[in-house]
Chain A
């Protein structure tokens, strides 16, 4: 990715943030923190690596579906207008991903299952002889507390599913507070490496670093994980310091300030 593309990806990430703010604003609260932390992960993935016609995308934690929806218009997966129905009664765009969620191959609200699904899709690609197809799975750090993630990690490495790439949003946020205050996950990269994966540990808001890591992950013959170190408040300075990363309160005045901040940055 050139410096110019990196800037475009950073701008794409802010577009994701702005759309997410607008999707959450009518409700007054929601999964905005997940979009703020994963915005660059989605932007770099969609801008430079993921081909919806060839690859599969799994969003393991269904709470992150807001970010996939917000990123989808540029990839031709969703009309921008439909984002306005996010979280409304009878909308297919439910706030926590369901079987009806558009724009992804697999998602779900019961956490820790998505990587197994991604492994199944990668295995299907192998059995059906689609060597060019890749499977990208967004996984959250909180999900690493679920044993099933490690069952899937072991299976993927044993079967050398090199077409599988995990984007791990290490935002240190779960319902009860910072993940690090509840369960010690570190050393995250060493855990994956010891399971037989290639691991790349980078600043998850640095589009240049993310792009390089994804490139290396895809090239590696092993299944690979790109660990993006992120924050649930990144890119939105108007949010209060103590904002709950899992479920951010966004009253009308704060939403207005957030839109203003992001629009100003995008106008530059």
Chain B
């Protein structure tokens, strides 16, 4: 398939692809401003602060003011990129996002790091509802990227979206799953493999798990389509409908609550298209995620592992016998393998 070749697991990782991509873009675009809510290094914009200090604005721990101010700056022709963790970017200043940014349809880019249970920092730090909150807001575009290649492509791609954008990013070491030929699109979901039994529709960190699950299922004789959906809103409903039509069953996978995010968006699309396909949603099942020292523990505890996708597909397709086991992949220092 064009523009979709994948690297081999375990994936190499890179550090701060977002921070680098933003600086590179800002050098070409003088209207870009970088705002941060007391999480400069954690959101990779220490690079911006060092290299373009005149357009870097410390806002402190004051997210409401930061968002409303960003809206006003956008009214004057600036392109503000606002940075904090996803929880603080969306929950606390929700009314400000709606009234100061989304209703006036201003080009503010809200960049929320540490999606879902990728943070072992407890429920206060886990953005498990950010996609649902942002998706419900008129004029908002919602992007949940899967790897460093997508990060590098998404930053310039979102620059010219006329309204606001919420960009959801893993922090720290970012795996490189897509080869450099990857074609990132804000309008088209991308089919990574084709098969008629089950369609795996995934976004963000769960795309890598979906690709791994497809490998294990394919080896066990299951025909799997994997659909890469980095843009949850506006959803490419035409491609989703086409892929769902070609499969006997559908599984969505998201590092987020199953309420209001990708799974909900796909369910709405399937229902509105009148397609009677059984659907399962992998994600947090209406719960907060507690008790972690490490993120992989949380992915396993709350059913967001590769094996969970495999087991779900096996059950959904009524296959006999035990589901295939996902081979464990050893990831050395600087490498990444999905849970």
Contact = CB atoms under 8 A, between A and B. Distances in A.
A148 B96 contact: yes
B138 to A, nearest CB: 12
A164 to B, nearest CB: 12
B104 A99 contact: yes
Interface string B45-86: 000000000010101101011011111110111100000000
A70 B33 CA distance: 37
B99 interface: yes
B65 A124 contact: no
Interface string A113-156: 10011111101100110000000000000000001100110110
B76 A124 contact: yes
Interface string A100-120: 000001101110010011111
A109, A117, A118, A121: most-surrounded residue (chain B CB, <10 A): A117
Nearest to B76: A124
A110 B64 contact: no
B69 A99 contact: no
A236 to B, nearest CB: 32
B69 A120 contact: yes
A228 B65 CA distance: 24
A120 B96 contact: no
B78 to A, nearest CB: 7
A117 B72 contact: yes
A155 B70 contact: no
Contact of A119 (B65, B78, B98, B104): B65
B76 A128 contact: yes
Range of interface residues on B (Cβ < 8 Å): 20 to 34
Contact of A117 (B62, B68, B103): B68
Give the size range of A's interface with the partner.
Answer: 20 to 34
Given A113-B68, A119-B69, A155 B100 contact: no
Contacts of B75: 105-106, 120-121, 124
Given A113-B96, A116-B100, A121 B72 contact: yes
Given A124-B78, A127-B78, A155-B59, A117 B69 contact: yes
A106 B75 CA distance: 10
B181 interface: no
B78 A117 contact: no
A227 B82 CA distance: 33
A108 B106 CA distance: 15
Query: Could you say which of A116, A148, A154, A155 has the most chain B C-beta atoms within 10 Å of its C-beta?
Result: A116
Given A124-B76, A124-B78, A127-B78, A117 B104 contact: no
B65 A151 contact: yes
Contacts, number: 80
Nearest to A110: B99
B62 A120 contact: no
B65 A155 contact: yes
Interface string B272-302: 0000000000000000000000000000000
Contacts of B100: 108, 113, 116-117
Interface in B87-113: 95-96, 98-100, 103-104
B72 A147 contact: no
Contacts of A148: 62, 64-65, 68, 96
Given A116-B65, A147-B64, A123 B96 contact: no
Contacts of B76: 120-121, 124, 128
Nearest to A112: B64
A254 B338 CA distance: 73
Contacts of B70: 120
B36 to A, nearest CB: 13
A62 B236 CA distance: 37
Nearest to B63: A151
A118 B62 CA distance: 16
Contacts of A152: 65, 68-69
Interface of B: 33, 55, 57, 59-60, 62, 64-65, 67-73, 75-78, 95-96, 98-100, 103-104
Shortest beta-carbon contacts, A-B, top 9: A120-B72, A116-B68, A151-B65, A124-B76, A151-B62, A120-B69, A148-B64, A117-B72, A116-B65
19 contacts: A106-B72, A109-B99, A110-B98, A113-B68, A113-B96, A116-B69, A118-B72, A119-B72, A120-B69, A120-B72, A121-B72, A124-B75, A124-B77, A148-B62, A148-B65, A148-B96, A151-B65, A154-B60, A155-B60
